[in-house]
Structure 1
Amino acid sequence: MAVAVRATAAPLWWSGILGAAVGTLSPGLVGRRVGLLAGAALFLVAAAAVFLARRGRYAGLAAGAVRAARADILQDRAVTIRNRRRARRWWLLPAFPVAVASSFAVPAAVGLLVAGLGAGLWLKAVWIGRREVADDRLLWVGADRPARGGPAGRHVTAYRTTGIAAGDAAPGGARRR
């Protein structure tokens, strides 16, 4: 389940960082200093908002998680990442061009906002991973559930659990080494 949260974090992070870097090349309408300060504030606010959003829903579903049955379909990490990124490609792809285009008005601000969204998702995946380690079980969303709404959406009614060594993902959604 943390894999699904973490899947869009890297594209958002890198699009935002590259957009902010390119955005600092032009002085913009308000100037670089104002743009960078506004971007830093937006980064912190976005990261905190994404990190704190739906934490109660995640915790409630994790508390009511049941052991995965033999009939449950649990996806491979790479398949989950590919499906999540493919489903969200229409807003992941324009993240970089929008960040660069907005830099002509406020340099680096939108790029840092997008990077903050990615950082917030990554922090949420780390938080989920710490819960998984503390409970000594991995949380899963069945592959038969639609990809809409994310791992804490309305369509998700319960999480499944397996042992900490199951699957190809480490706690928090990172690749198992």
Structure 2
Amino acid sequence: MAVIVRAGAAPMWWPGLLAAAIGALVPGLTGRRVGLLTGAALFLVTMAVVALARGKRYDGLARGATRAGRTDFLQDRAVTVRNWRHGHRWWLLGAFLVAVASAFAVPGAGGLLLAGAGAGLWAKAVRIGQRERRDDALYWVRTDWVERGRPTGRPVKAFRTTGPVAGDAAPGGARRSR
């Protein structure tokens, strides 16, 4: 489940930083200093909002988690990441283009906003990983319950659990080291 959360972190973080760097080269309407300071504030606020969003829903689903059964279909980490990124590629491209275009008004702010969303997703995945380590279990969402790449969508009734060494993902959705 943390894999789905973490799948969007890198595709938002790196393009966001690239858009911010491009934006720092453009003087913009507000000037570089104001734009980058606004971007830094937006980065922090966005990171906090994304990291804390739907926290009660995640906790409630984790408390009600049941052991994964034989009939539950659980995907590998690589497949989940590939599916999420493939399903959101146009949204990510559009967000990058908007972040670069916003540099002509407020230099760097749009890129730092996008990077803040990526950092917030990464922080949320880290928090989920800490819970997984504490509970000594990995949380999963059945693939037929995942709605548009959201691990806590309406169809998700409860998380499934497996042992901490099941699958190819480490706690928090990171790639398991071999």
Distance 1:28 1:168 in 2: 45
Structure 2: runs of 5+ lacking an equivalent: none
Q: Residue 6 of structure 2 aligns with which residue?
A: 6
Q: Residue 85 of structure 1 aligns with which residue?
A: 85
Equivalent residues of 2:46, 2:116 under 8 A apart = yes
Instruction: Please tell me whether residue 41 in structure 1 is matched to residue 41 in structure 2.
Output: yes
Equivalent residues of 1:139, 1:161 under 8 A apart = yes
Instruction: Please tell me whether residue 107 in structure 1 is matched to residue 107 in structure 2.
Output: yes
Per the normalisation by structure 1, the TM-score is 0.98
Equivalent residues of 1:87, 1:147 under 8 A apart = no
SS at match of 1:161: strand
Shift of 1:147: 3.2
Q: Residue 71 of structure 2 aligns with which residue?
A: 71
Distance 1:147 1:89 in 2: 16
Shift of 1:146: 3.7
Runs of 4+ in structure 1 off by over 4 angstroms are none
Distance 2:157 2:148 in 1: 13
RMSD (Å) for aligned C-alpha atoms: 0.9
Q: Which amino acid aligns with 2:64?
A: G
Instruction: Please tell me whether residue 150 in structure 1 is matched to residue 150 in structure 2.
Output: yes
Shift of 1:100: 1.1
SS at match of 2:39: helix
Equivalent residues of 1:84, 1:147 under 8 A apart = no
Shift of 1:26: 1.0
Q: Residue 137 of structure 1 aligns with which residue?
A: 137
Distance 2:72 2:48 in 1: 34
Q: Residue 176 of structure 2 aligns with which residue?
A: 176
Shift of 1:149: 5.8
Equivalent residues of 1:13, 1:116 under 8 A apart = yes
Please list the CA deviations of residues 53-97 of structure 1 after superposition, one character each: whole Å capped at 9, or x if unmatched. 000000000000000011110000011001111222221112222
Q: Residue 26 of structure 1 aligns with which residue?
A: 26
Count residues with an aligned counterpart: 177
Please list the CA deviations of residues 122-144 of structure 1 after superposition, one character each: whole Å capped at 9, or x if unmatched. 00000000000000000000122
SS at match of 1:139: strand
SS at match of 2:161: strand
Equivalent residues of 1:15, 1:111 under 8 A apart = yes
Please list the CA deviations of residues 9-48 of structure 1 after superposition, one character each: whole Å capped at 9, or x if unmatched. 1000011100000110011111000000000000000000
